[in-house]
Amino acid sequence: MKFYAIGGFKEVGKNMTAIEVNGEVVIFDMGVSMEHLIDLSARGLEYEKLDEQTLKSMNVLPNDTILSGKKVIAIVISHGHLDHVSAIPKLAKKYNCPILATPYTAEIIKRLLKDHNQDSQLKFLTTMQYGDTAELSKNFKIEYVNMTHSIPDSSLIAVYTSEGIVTVGYDYKLDNTPTLGDKPDYKRLKELGNEGVKLHISECVHIEDEQRTPSEKVARDMVYDAIDRAYLDSSAVFITSFASHIARIRSIVEANKGRRQIIVLGRSMNNYISAAKELGLIDTSKFQLYGMSRDVKSALENVKKNPEQYLVLSTGNQGEPNSVLSRIARKEQKFAFRKEDQVIFSSMVIPTPVNKANRYVIERNLKEQGVRILKDVHVSGHAMREDHRDLLRILNPDTVIPMHAETERLASFASLCEEEGFTIGDTVHIMTDGRYINIK
């Protein structure tokens, strides 16, 4: 068995890995670098219009040349975040193979392919339910296991190969009281551990936080409290969160309790919420959704007339320069903040230099206008150190490879593995982009 570290081994994002058994290869996730994608947008360049080689040279796409000439039999996707799926329209067509995904993730991929005028690729998309298995060949069988994260239909992928079981633990948390969907399928995870896991691949975004990640139920209570207290004043109230975080968006709508008109602004909000509506994951009757720029402008003109009557949910939680909230903060929209208006960030800053810089800029602009800011009304969707320890003990793998972070965090995950009895360089491996390793 060979393991290929394609992207996500020296950065947060750009996730793409592959496993080869007896000359056949299965790819897991196909994402972009959000940091470089945001920078691209800030420079006025359109991702959809740039070709593969240009995007690779700009570090937006993972460099998959290590798979050149390989027999790729499937692309298996863990969940629908852009740093795990957005490279599909640029890279998948060369492999001419099935793309497997859970329902919500498949809906996101459909929209991405259509945005890139690749409707012909839709025939390769196969929708999988939790517990489903797909026989890809005599060397590979895939099973989707329910996990929790900050987007619907997130999965741990169990890969049954002729050389042993591999578990792919992309973004996850162990949330026993989620507000949307079921808690992790601990029964199946324990069964996998008892069957014997040859290799476990794990994200490690929050490996340095020495605790367990709080439940999304905690975030829901925080949102309720933040909105209740914001409504004590007759000011404009804006709230921003991740567009893909459907559970959080549902909590925001529920917390309003019909007290204000809710408008939701931004293209990515429109895409993710529309996909969720298709699958019955969110009721859109309680708010108005605006994705196109002209519609956003019109909606903000209405808010300007009676700001105290609205709760505005918008893009911009990372301070992205082209987001709705950033444009308002730069005074590029018809609506202008007044002193004592309120902005709630129901998110935390994704720890990259570009995001940190963008958030600094938007917060500075808001403060200069006298806006009251409430930050970190949020709990993470990523496992923290003790969650990772718990999952390692449940799965009890022979070998572990951390990913989805720069070298320092990969090394921190390796140190956790050492605490659990693994040996660096033997049963836990720190990889880098563009390399492969033979798994014994």
Same domain, yes or no, for 385 and 332?
A: no
What percent of the chain has pLDDT above 90?
Answer: 90
Task: Quote the domain boundaries for residue 155.
Answer: 2-212+381-438
Q: Indicate which CATH number applies to the domain containing 362.
A: 3.40.50.10710
pLDDT tens digits, 63-106: 999 999 999 999 999 999 999 999 999 999 999 999 999 999 99
Same domain, 277 and 310: yes
Domain containing residue 7: CATH number: 3.60.15.10
Alpha helices in 71-230 (DSSP H): 82-85, 88-91, 103-115, 186-195, 216-230
Question: Which residue among 374, 390, 425 closes a domain?
Answer: 374
Same domain, 185 and 316: no
If asked whether residues 37 and 147 sit together in one domain, one would say yes
> pLDDT of 245-277, one tens digit each?
999 999 999 999 999 999 999 999 999 999 999
Query: Considering only 7-16, 220-229, 289-298, 373-382, which range has the smallest mean pLDDT?
Result: 289-298
CA distance 63 to 44: 23
Residues in Cβ contact with 92 at an 8 Å cutoff, skipping those fewer than 6 apart = 30, 75, 99, 121, 124
pLDDT of 167 reads: 98
Q: Over pLDDT 70: what percentage of the chain?
A: 100
* 354 and 395 both lie in a single domain: no
Shared domain for 432 and 323, answered yes or no, is: no
Number of structural domains found in the chain: 2
Three-state DSSP at 5 gives strand
pTM, two decimal places: 0.94
The Cα 358–Cα 190 span in angstroms is: 42
Neighbours of 368 (CB within 10 A): 10
> Do 239 and 164 share a structural domain?
no
What pLDDT was estimated at residue 77? 98
162 and 296 fall within a common domain: no
H or E element in which residue 134 lies = strand 133-135
Domain stop point among 374, 396, 416:
374
3-class DSSP state for residue 186? helix
Cα–Cα distance, 277 to 282 (Å, whole number): 5
Grade residue 40 by pLDDT with cuts at 50, 70 and 90.
confident
Q: Which of 335, 357, 374 is the last residue of a domain?
A: 374
Give the DSSP letter string of 319-348: --TTSHHHHHHTT-SS----TT-EEEE-S-
Residue 71: strand pairing partners: 24
Quote the CA–CA distance of 298 and 283 in Å, as a whole number. 23
Distance CA 69, CA 243 (A): 37
Does residue 431 have a pLDDT over 80? yes
Are residue 118 and residue 173 in the same domain, yes or no?
yes
Do both 251 and 202 map to the same domain?
no
- For the chain, what is the mean pLDDT? 95
Residue 293 pLDDT greater than 90, yes or no:
no
**226 and 343 both lie in a single domain:** yes
Residue 378 · residue 255 · CB < 8 Å: no
Task: Give the other-Cβ count within 10 Å of 120's Cβ.
Answer: 9
pLDDT at 165: 98
The whole-angstrom separation of Cα 297 and Cα 327 is 11
Crossing angle between the packed helical segments 34-42 and 353-368, to the nearest 10 degrees: 50
Question: Which three-class secondary structure state does DSSP give residue 197?
Answer: strand
For residues 117 and 105, what is the distance between their CA atoms, to the nearest angstrom? Answer: 19
- Which pLDDT does position 33 carry in this prediction? 93
By three-state DSSP, how is residue 310 classified? strand
Whether 310 and 410 share a structural domain: no
Query: 311 - beta bridge partners?
Result: 237, 262
